[in-house]
C-alpha cells in the first residue's frame, strides 16, 4: 500500500475501489497474523469530542506497530485559549508523524490537512466517520466472504455514519439503502457522490419507508437517533424515529442470512432492541474489535512500515 503513504484520509471518497479493498485485505492479514508490520512513528490524537472505541483502538494499534501516541486534549492545549488552527497545525506538523482528528466541522479537519505535510485522518466529524465504516466493511467481508452485490440497509438518522456508509458501500460494489424520517436525510451532496461512484452497478436508495429498505437486506445497520451535540433533541426524536427501530420484526423481514451491526454506543430499546443486539444475528462486538484491525492497516499504509 505504498501508494497511500503520506496521504490524508478525510473521507472515504479519497480512496479508489482498489485502494479500499486492499486496505481491507491488509486489515484481514494483520488480524490473522499473516502479516506483521512495524513503524516507529508518533501519532497525535486531537479529539474535541468524546470517544471510547476510536481513541482506544488508535492507541492500542499504534503501540502494537511499535510507535507512540500523544493525546492532544484540546482542553490542555492552546487551542482551548483561541490559538488559530492554522498555527496549531503548523506546529504539530513539526512534532508528529501522523495526526488523527475528531471534531465537529469538516472544514476544521481540512485546515489541518492544508497546513501540514503529515497525514491527517478523519477520526469523526459531523459530516463523516470513515474509520468506522472501514471496520464495518471488514466485518461484513468476514461474515460473507465478499462484499460485491450484498445489500446493507441503514435505519435512523442520516448522520455522519450514514454518509460514510453511502460512500464505502458504493466504492466496494455493495447496494446501500438509507431509511430515515423525511427531515433527517443524509447529506445530499454525499448521496450524489455515492451514486456517481456506483454508476448504476449497485443500488443507492434513500427512502422514508423502512419496509422498502429491509427487503432481502444482508446487513441491517443502525446508530443512535441523536448524535453528539444533539443531546437536547434526544427525547423529542424518539417518537419520530420509532418506526425505524431495528427490532425482531425488522430482522425477520430481511434476508435469511442477515447480520446486524451498530457502531456503538447503543441506546438499547431505542434504535435497537436488547434482544437484537444480544441475538444470534448480531455482529456488533466483532465490528467493535475490527476498529483496531482496520485502523492498524490504515496507519501502516499512510506511514509506511519499517
* Catalytic residue IDs: 102, 129, 132, 223, 263, 291
The distance from CA 177 to its chain's CA centroid, rounded to whole angstroms, is 16
| Distance (Å, whole) CA 123 – CA 109 | 10
Element (H, E) at 261: strand 259-262
- DSSP notation for 75-123: GGSGGGGT--HHHHHHHHHHH-SEEEEE-S-HHHHHHHHHT-SS-EEES
The grid coordinates of residue 232 equal: 437536547
Q: Is the Cβ–Cβ distance between 155 and 149 less than 8 Å?
A: no
Contacts of 152 by beta carbon, 8 Å cutoff, 6+ apart: 140, 165, 169, 174, 175, 176, 177, 217, 218, 219, 221
Provide the β-strand partners of residue 98.
43
Hey, what's the torsion of the CAs at 166, 171, 176, 181, to 10 degrees? 10
**Coil, helix or strand at residue 143:** helix
Amino acid at each position: 500500500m505504498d501508494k497511500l503513504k503520506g496521504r490524508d484520509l478525510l473521507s472515504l471518497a479519497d480512496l479508489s475501489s482498489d485502494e479500499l479493498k486492499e486496505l481491507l485485505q491488509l486489515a484481514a492479514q494483520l488480524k490473522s497474523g499473516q502479516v506483521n508490520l512495524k513503524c516507529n512513528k508518533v501519532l497525535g490524537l486531537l479529539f474535541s469530542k468524546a470517544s471510547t472505541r476510536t481513541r482506544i483502538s488508535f492507541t492500542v494499534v499504534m503501540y502494537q506497530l511499535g510507535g507512540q501516541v500523544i493525546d492532544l486534549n484540546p482542553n490542555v492545549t492552546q487551542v482551548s485559549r483561541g490559538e488559530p488552527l492554522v498555527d496549531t497545525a503548523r506546529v504539530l506538523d513539526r512534532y508528529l508523524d501522523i495526526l488523527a482528528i475528531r471534531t465537529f466541522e469538516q472544514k476544521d479537519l481540512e485546515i489541518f490537512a492544508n497546513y501540514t505535510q503529515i497525514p491527517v485522518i478523519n477520526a469523526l466529524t459531523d459530516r463523516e466517520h470513515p474509520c468506522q465504516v472501514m471496520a464495518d466493511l471488514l466485518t461484513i467481508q468476514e461474515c460473507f466472504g465478499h462484499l460485491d452485490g450484498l445489500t446493507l440497509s441503514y435505519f435512523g438518522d442520516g448522520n455522519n455514519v450514514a454518509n460514510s456508509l453511502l460512500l464505502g458501500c458504493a466504492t466496494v460494489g455493495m447496494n446501500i439503502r438509507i431509511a430515515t424520517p423525511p427531515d433527517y436525510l443524509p447529506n445530499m451532496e454525499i448521496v450524489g457522490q455515492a451514486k456517481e461512484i456506483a454508476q448504476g452497478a449497485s443500488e443507492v436508495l434513500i427512502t422514508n419507508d423502512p419496509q422498502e429498505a429491509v427487503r432481502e437486506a444482508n446487513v441491517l445497520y443502525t446508530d443512535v437517533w441523536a448524535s453528539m451535540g444533539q443531546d437536547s433533541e434526544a427525547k423529542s426524536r424518539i417518537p419520530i424515529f420509532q418506526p425505524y427501530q431495528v427490532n425482531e420484526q425488522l430482522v425477520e423481514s430481511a434476508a435469511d442470512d442477515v447480520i446486524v451491526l451498530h457502531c456503538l454506543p447503543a441506546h438499547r430499546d431505542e434504535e435497537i432492541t436488547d434482544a437484537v443486539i444480544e441475538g444470534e444475528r448480531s455482529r456488533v462486538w466483532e465490528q467493535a474489535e475490527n476498529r483496531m484491525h482496520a485502523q492498524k492497516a490504515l496507519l501502516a499504509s499512510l506511514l509506511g512500515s519499517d
